[in-house]
Amino acid sequence: MPLTKFLFIQGILFMLFIISVSLTGGATGNIANIIMNFLTFFTGGWLITIILKDRSQLILNLLTSILAFNAVTYLLSLGLGAALPPSIQLLIDFGIVTLFALAGMYARLYFENRYGNKD
């Protein structure tokens, strides 16, 4: 995947993240985190599947984009003075993000195969 496409996807994910934070009212806690992750990464997986036309390495490119964005958000929050959650919570969060992104990708591929390419 070219760097420009990777950066474009990061911008889309950031926009989705800001929208999900706005929709949840900036709430904190585990449930709010799961809702924000779903809104950001399920939709992100869906949109990335539309953007990336090369299906040969779709899962690799999807996970690279999604997990890089998730890691950067944690690094930015660390730079702003927030403490990192415990290691097990980080692993669970990255796992949930991966599942939501893959679910979004597979949902998009399902609708694409079922109803034809409507792009």
Q: What is the pLDDT of residue 89?
A: 86
Range of the domain at 22: 3-115
- Predicted model pTM: 0.85
| Residue 94: half-sphere exposure toward Cβ, Cα within 13 Å | 17
pLDDT at 119 over 70: no
Checking if the pLDDT of 118 tops 60, the result is: no
Q: What is the pLDDT of residues 90-111, one digit of tens each?
A: 898 899 999 999 999 999 989 8
If one counts the domains in the chain, the total is 1
Query: Cα separation of 60 and 36, whole Å?
Result: 23
Confidence of residue 11 (pLDDT cuts 50, 70, 90): very high
pLDDT digits (tens, 9 = 90+) for 47-91: 999 888 888 888 888 989 998 998 888 888 888 877 778 888 889
Band of pLDDT at residue 15, cut at 50, 70 and 90:
very high
